[in-house]
Amino acid sequence: EVHLVESGGGLVKPGGSLRVSCAASGFSFDTHTMNWVRQAPGKGLEWISSISSNSAYIYYADSVRGRFTISRDNAQNSLYLEMSNLRVEDTAVYYCVSEVGRRLFDYWGQGSLVTVSS
């Protein structure tokens, strides 16, 4: 059974930094492109970043480019999102999501809440 478990969320002040992690199990992590999708409280879904299986291809949404960095460690079956210069509008649940191809998201973690507030 596929499991994606996020950790590392919490409360951070505007301008601060935070790293969210995702531990994957139950599938061949090292052959899948992985993504981060976020959802602000009471709002819709927003894709923010993807990383190919060998980290060769990385993409970001305009809203986070230059502030967020996605990475992965295939030996540890782990995905990371390093967030810096955080803004109040970055407050959201951050989901770790596996891709079955062509940005089709088949498995989602339970999410990790990041709150940016002074």
Partner 1 sequence: DIQMTQSPSILSASVGDRVIMTCRASQSIGTWLAWYQQKPGKAPKLIIFKASNTQSGVPSRFSGSGSGTEFSLTISGLLPDDSATYYCQQCNDYSPAFGQGTKVEIK
| CB nearer to partner 1: pick between 62 and 118 | 62
Rule CB under 8 A: say whether 104 interacts with partner 1: yes
Q: Give the number of residues in contact with partner 1, rule: CB under 8 A.
A: 17
Q: Which residue has the tokens 């951070």?
A: 12
Residue type, 4: L
CB of residue 17 vs partner 1: minimum separation in angstroms? Answer: 24
Bridge-based pairing state of the strands 112-116 and 10-12: parallel
| CB nearer to partner 1: pick between 33 and 80 | 33
* Count of residues making up the chain: 118
| CB nearer to partner 1: pick between 56 and 104 | 104
- Sign for the CA dihedral angle at 1, 109, 50, 101 comes to positive
